[in-house]
Amino acid sequence: MTSIRKRDRKQIAGRVALDIPEGAYVNLGIGLPTLVAGQLPKGREIILHSENGVLGIGPPPAPGAEDGDLIDAGKSPVTLLEGGAFFHHADSFSMIRGRHIDICVLGAFQVSATGDLANWHTGAADAIPAVGGAMDLAVGAKQVFVMMEHLTKGGESKIVERCSYPLTGVGCVTRIYTDLAVIDVTPQGLRVVDRVEGLSLEELSRLTGMALVEHAPAAHAA
Amino acid sequence: MINKIVETLEQAVAGIADGATVMIGGFGNAGMPSELIDALIAQGAGNLTIVNNNAGNGDTGLAALLKAKRVRKIICSFPRQTDSWHFDALYRSGELELELVPQGTLAERIRAAGAGIGAFYTPTAVGTRLAEGKEARRFDGRDYVLELPIHADVALIKALRADRWGNLVYRMTARNFGPIMASAARCTIVQVQETVALGALDPETVVTPGIFVQRVVRVAAPAALERAA
């Protein structure tokens, strides 16, 4: 694997950010997806939504300028852009469930070949469950991007035929961004959009545990 | 003359009964009515069912209510946090019942109660274990599950400003569950930073009209602002 140039977390975030168009309303899930905010291309006007009732999230506040009443869904202090708005929780989830959010970016434990998402529960008997807005985002956003490491620490693919973890949503994921590749979930199956330098399609298929097919025509490599 | 403003926190929480269902506003600490919760602890009601997005952070607010063992059941979407140790211990020991609800479904169940809706179908959680045992139905080629409203005896919420009719405005993301919880409870009790004369709130910007509010109490220095300072 030494010749493979894996994307680090910031590079995965940067790759996701490339696919977010001007004018998009976007929800970034807690954890890894929050890195996308810092990678959005300059000059593109993109409106970030957070479940707790805000549109138009700006850059992080300067140290000392945090306000406990202005936070995001991860409960981190944020700022508000000019044009931003506040609203209550039912309105916030109307935006999500009502298909007004163009893209949400979520982390995942597993994604299946048909776009099933597992990201809220490990299934362990003693685990305390917590779901938050993940199930609403999974069914509600027009496009669901997943951002995750391709393999577990044990080297198993997180892209699987069928999820073994409890599901967050069925057939909801539209595109997967990993440290190795970008893969679309299509009605015809998974389609590789791009893969990192030094990684062949055969090797990517071997690591993923299933035969992967490239998009035709071949999309750009990042 | 209508005057919903009461003088003390003790008066604000008077009459909350054992076994009541109490909605508590706030998302994490933003909008958490900590002083009202402290007053509820002092008031003594127990065996409560609590509705909140989370299950308490640190040792204050909702976490303090849990620690005081006044809660039988909590209905929430995201109990597990790095600082939810009081919830974690009570849940693991079996002393606290948890009803886990997806966040948007939680919000809509509260909204439905306030709006007089008997039940609704949502696509959220279809095909997951949180939809198990629930009535499912397909509309226009898409699957939905039936969800029921959550009514409350009492809502404790925090707003920025109120007048004596109970009209409310909020402060930034501290609004969160306040407006919908205010509509879903039989008795909505609000702590505000400031009370203003009738007519001082711009009617175009009132977020929660006073019809949804029963009691208002002024708490001079909200804890969240102090922390932020």
- ipTM associated with this complex: 0.94
Q: Supply the pLDDT for residue A125.
A: 81
- pLDDT (tens digit, 9 = 90+) per residue, A20-38? 999 999 999 998 999 999 9
Numbered residues of chain A with Cβ closer than 8 Å to any chain B Cβ: 50-54, 66-72, 75, 80, 86-90, 92-93, 96-97, 116, 121, 126, 128-136, 139-140, 166-170
Q: Supply the pLDDT for residue B220.
A: 82
- pLDDT (tens digit, 9 = 90+) per residue, B126-178? 999 999 999 999 999 999 999 999 999 999 999 999 999 999 999 999 999 99
**Do residue B31 and residue A87 have CB atoms under 8 angstroms apart?**
no
Give the active site residue among A22, A51, A156, A197.
Answer: A51
Q: Report yes or no: A182 and A192 within 8 Å, Cβ to Cβ.
A: yes
Alpha helices in A36-188 (DSSP H): 89-97, 134-140
Higher-confidence residue of B28 and B75: namely B75
Q: Burial of B205 by CB count in 10 Å (0-12 exposed, 13-18 middle, 19+ buried)?
A: exposed
- The pLDDT-based confidence of A217 (bands split at 50, 70, 90) is low
**Do residue B172 and residue A130 have CB atoms under 8 angstroms apart?**
no
- pLDDT (tens digit, 9 = 90+) per residue, B3-24? 999 999 999 999 999 999 999 9
To which residue do tokens 């409203």 refer? B149
Q: Supply the pLDDT for residue A136.
A: 98
- The pLDDT-based confidence of A220 (bands split at 50, 70, 90) is low
Minimal C-alpha gap between A147 and chain B (Å): 21
Average of per-residue pLDDT across A160-168: 97
B227 to chain A: closest CA residue:
A68
Q: Supply the pLDDT for residue A26.
A: 98
- The pLDDT-based confidence of B218 (bands split at 50, 70, 90) is very high
Is A156 noted as a catalytic residue in this protein? no
Average of per-residue pLDDT across A2-6: 83
Mean pLDDT of chain B: 95
- The pLDDT-based confidence of B223 (bands split at 50, 70, 90) is low
Stretch among A48-57, A213-222, B89-98, B163-172 having the lowest mean pLDDT = A213-222
Record the pTM.
0.95
Q: Supply the pLDDT for residue A2.
A: 54
**Do residue B176 and residue A89 have CB atoms under 8 angstroms apart?**
yes
For residue B218, which of B191, B183, B200, B198 has the smallest C-alpha distance? B191
Average of per-residue pLDDT across A26-51: 96
Minimal C-alpha gap between A120 and chain B (Å): 10
Contacting residues of A for B176, CB less than 8 Å apart: 52-53, 88-89
- SS3 of chain B: the string is CCCCEECCHHHHCCCCCCCCEEEECCECCECCCHHHHHHHHHHCCCCEEEECCCCCCCCCCHHHHHHCCCEEEEEECCCCCCCCHHHHHHHHCCCCEEEECCHHHHHHHHHHHHHCCCCEEECCCCCCHHHCCCCEEEECCEEEEEECCCCEEEEEEEEEEECCCCCEECCHHHCCCHHHHHHHEEEEEEEEEEECCCCCCCCCCCCECHHHCCEEEECCCCHHHHHHC
pLDDT at B193 over 90: yes
Question: Which of B 18-57 lie inside 8 A of A, CB atoms?
Answer: 27-31, 53
Q: Report yes or no: B183 and A88 within 8 Å, Cβ to Cβ.
A: no
A130 to chain B: closest CA residue:
B78
